[in-house]
Amino acid sequence: MTEEERLLKPIINACYPGTLSALSLAVLEIVGRDVPTILRFTLSMNSVFFLFSTFFIFFYTIYNWKKWLWTATAITFVLGLCGSLIAVIWLVLI
């Protein structure tokens, strides 16, 4: 692996959950204020979970001996995915 690839790897890894965080915020912006508060809260928490996952995976890529970063990444990512599933089901039912 070249030096450039080694330096770009943390940024590339952090882009994946970061994109999901931005998508959650975009959906929140599109649905507006006329949806129930619980749906807005769910979408906001999804964005926060994916944002935490972004930071955790970024720092885990740099400091890969800290296993708690990997655990935190997995937990926050799965919570964000579960929240997204709940939000999608809620949007379909409304």
Question: Please, are residues 77 and 49 in contact by the beta-carbon 8 Å criterion?
Answer: yes
- What is the pLDDT, as a whole number, of residue 52? 95
Burial 36-73 (b: 16+ CB within 10 A, else e): eeebeebbebbbbbbbbbbbbbbbbbeeeeeeebeebb
pLDDT in tens, the chain (94 residues): 788 888 888 888 899 899 999 999 998 898 888 888 899 999 999 999 999 999 999 999 999 888 999 999 999 999 999 999 999 999 888 7
- For residue 45, the model assigns a pLDDT of 94
Backbone angles phi, psi at 17, to 5 degrees: -70, -25
pTM of the model: 0.89
Which pLDDT value is given to residue 2?
83
